[in-house]
Amino acid sequence: MEMCYKILGEGKLVTQRELFYKLLSDSPKYFSCQRHVNQTIQDVVSLLRCTRQSLGIMASSRGALIGRLVLHEPEEEHIDCSILGPSGHAITGDLNQLSRLNLSSDARYLILVEKDAIFQRLAEDRLYNQLPCILITAKGYPDIATRFILHRLSQTFPNMPIFALVDWNPAGLSILCTYKYGSISMGLESYRYGIPLDDQSMIKPIFQNGINEILQFQLAM
């Protein structure tokens, strides 16, 4: 808590990894590994019923998105995600910055992609030009920042169906459920970024038939 108070006093944000190195230097007796720091942060967040961001801790993000989406940052140039390379637009870990974004889109679908390799293949093929959609990935298990921007998209475009392209195995279902319901391992904070059960844009899993299932869904509309 003392370290978080110091970070907030300096008006900075740090990742959990950066916080670990600060604590390792300051209090090596109590924090000898990253796991201890992560668990302590989770306990503090649960105890205070606050977010990591309010403690000066920024989410580490691996996520990216691409497709029929324009990001408008206050006093910054807009970012057209439909003209980017196959790696897409990297999602920042600063939740405050993500919350300030103005989002505009003519997409009809939002597709979550579990694996980065699949995401890049779909981006290379410019799937979103054939099927008006937004592609988003956390490159594996979903991080807070990726889930936050997904939550914002679902709130901004409540009638846009959300599909999840995941493996047909327990790990894929676990990733799907984390996006949809949240994760116990991330504490109380996690559930703020799930997709509510009464949301019109319920997540629909895609398994063996993949993108063909979405195309059939589009033709049926």
**Residue 4, both tokens:** 């978080």
Q: Is 118 exposed, middle or buried (0-12, 13-18, 19+ CB in 10 A)?
A: middle
Radius of gyration of the chain (CA): 18
DSSP state of 168: S
Cα separation, 43 vs 135, in Å, equals 33
Identify the pLDDT of residue 166.
Answer: 86
Q: Rounded to an integer, what distance in angstroms lies between the CA atom of residue 61 and that of residue 92?
A: 6
Mean pLDDT by runs of 10 across the 221 residues of the chain is 78 78 76 78 77 75 92 85 93 85 93 91 92 93 88 91 86 84 66 56 52 50 44
CATH of domain 2-58: 1.10.10
| Among 5, 21, 109, 191, the one annotated catalytic | 21
Task: Show me where the domains of the chain are located.
Answer: 2-58, 64-220
Is 21 catalytic? The answer is yes
What is the residue type of 155? Q
What is the full DSSP assignment across 33-90?
SHHHHHHHHHHHHHHHT--SGGGTEEPP---EEEES-EEE-TTS--EETTSS-TT-EE
Q: Do domains 2-58 and 64-220 have the same CATH topology?
A: no
Q: Give me the pLDDT at residue 135, please.
A: 96
pLDDT of residue 40: 80
Architecture of domain 64-220: 3-Layer(aba) Sandwich (3.40)
pLDDT of the residue at 201: 42
pLDDT for 65 = 95
Q: Would you state the pLDDT for residue 217?
A: 46
